[in-house]
């Protein structure tokens, strides 16, 4: 499997070459600054009044070691790769959140062709596990405070919290754009329903966040139902909640099969009970 087959929308060879060029210049810059310090000490002495850069002692020339700077470069490169390549398409919400955490904390592997191939293979091989985990996590996090939500199965409609970002108190609440975490949960459902319908996994870059961003922002708010991927319709409210209506009852039955696989006692014993 070559780089083009891995992520056809991004030139891996070009990205790796640019990353290596940046790293090489960072290391060379560090070496040059230390050479300047050596020359300074040789010329003016090692007393406290000498114009030494004191890079060795106080690490003043860089905000961290060179290795730390390289980690920042790799984290930025992985973030770019994940966003532009479509690799996130294979991830459920939990996997995306973990990747974002690793990128923020710079706990990602060096950006090499081997590591890109290994990461892609791991994501691809675990897609079935993430496929089902996404459904279970949405089901587990449904609030049973809402009568629409059924604690035993997915019905005709569900209410999901935090689909939109909001702040303020109940009397004066401000609604921003769509929530990344909330839209990831929606994408988990849409991805599973799409695959169960015999279609390819939808690209996350055209997922729920992209659709809702056109409807909801600081300047506009629409309470009209918004269809997504011909699988669901969602109405969003100022409290940030989204009321989801499933457009394919036959696929909801298959979602409930996944729920029953992981929670055998969740579904009612009578399979003819239908939807709520």
Average pLDDT taken over every residue of the chain: 80
Residue pLDDT, tens place only, 177-193: 899 989 988 998 898 89
Residue 134 has pLDDT above 70, yes or no: yes
Give the mean model confidence (pLDDT) for residues 115-121.
89
Pair of tokens at residue 128: 């079935």
Q: Which position has the higher pLDDT, 173 or 66?
A: 66
Cβ count within 10 A of residue 10: 20
Pair of tokens at residue 185: 């949960």
CA distance 157 to 93: 21
Residue pLDDT, tens place only, 222-272: 778 999 989 999 999 888 899 999 999 999 999 988 888 887 765 554 444
Helical H segments across 55-202, by residue range: 55-58, 66-85, 93-104, 113-125, 127-140, 180-196
Residue 194 has pLDDT above 70, yes or no: yes
For 12, 14, 115, the CA distances from 3, given in Å and listed in that order, are 6, 10, 11
DSSP structure class, residue 87: G
For 151, 234, 251, 268, the CA distances from 259, given in Å and listed in that order, are 11, 22, 13, 12
Residue 140 has pLDDT above 90, yes or no: no
Residue 58 has pLDDT above 50, yes or no: no
- Among 37-51, 63-77, 90-104, which is the least confidently predicted range? 37-51
Asked if 61 and 33 count as a contact pair (C-beta separation under 8 A), the reply is yes
Residue pLDDT, tens place only, 201-212: 787 778 899 898
CA distance 11 to 85: 9
Confidence of residue 33 (pLDDT cuts 50, 70, 90): confident
**What b/e readout covers 234-263, taking b as 16+ CB neighbours within 10 angstroms?**
bbbbeebbbbbebbbeebbebbbebbeeee
Asked if 96 and 184 count as a contact pair (C-beta separation under 8 A), the reply is yes
DSSP structure class, residue 171: T
Residue 11 has pLDDT above 80, yes or no: yes
Confidence of residue 3 (pLDDT cuts 50, 70, 90): very low
Give the mean model confidence (pLDDT) for residues 92-104.
89
Confidence of residue 218 (pLDDT cuts 50, 70, 90): low
Residue pLDDT, tens place only, 150-172: 767 888 999 998 999 888 665 56
Q: Which position has the higher pLDDT, 205 or 98?
A: 98
Reported as type and span, the H/E element at residue 230 is: none
Pair of tokens at residue 20: 């290596």
For 29, 32, 238, the CA distances from 26, given in Å and listed in that order, are 5, 10, 48
**What b/e readout covers 67-80, taking b as 16+ CB neighbours within 10 angstroms?**
eebbbebbbbbbee
């Amino acid at each position: 499997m070559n780089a083009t087959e891995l992520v056809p929308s991004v030139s891996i060879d070009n990205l790796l070459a640019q990353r290596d060029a940046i790293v090489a210049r960072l290391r060379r810059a560090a070496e040059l600054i230390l050479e300047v310090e050596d020359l300074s000490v040789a010329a003016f002495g090692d007393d406290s009044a000498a114009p030494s850069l004191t890079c060795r002692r106080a690490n003043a020339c860089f905000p961290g070691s060179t290795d730390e700077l390289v980690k920042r470069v790799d984290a930025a490169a992985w973030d770019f790769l994940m966003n532009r390549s479509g690799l996130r398409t294979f991830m459920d919400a939990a996997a995306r959140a973990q990747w974002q955490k690793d990128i923020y904390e710079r706990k990602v592997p060096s950006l090499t062709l081997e590591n890109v191939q290994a990461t892609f293979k791991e994501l691809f091989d675990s897609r079935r596990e993430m496929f089902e985990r996404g459904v279970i996590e949405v089901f587990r996090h449904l609030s049973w405070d809402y009568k629409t939500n059924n604690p035993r199965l997915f019905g005709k409609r569900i209410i999901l919290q935090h689909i939109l970002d909001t702040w303020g108190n109940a009397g004066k609440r401000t609604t921003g754009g769509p929530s990344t975490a909330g839209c990831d949960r929606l994408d988990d459902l849409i991805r599973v329903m799409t695959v169960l319908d015999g279609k390819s996994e939808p690209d996350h870059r055209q997922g729920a966040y992209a659709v809702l961003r056109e409807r909801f922002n600081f300047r506009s708010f629409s309470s009209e139902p918004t269809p997504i991927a011909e699988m669901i319709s969602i109405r969003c409210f100022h409290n940030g909640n989204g009321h989801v209506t499933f457009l394919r009852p036959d696929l909801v039955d298959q979602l409930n099969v996944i729920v029953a696989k992981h929670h055998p006692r969740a579904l009612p014993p009578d399979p003819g009970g239908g939807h709520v």
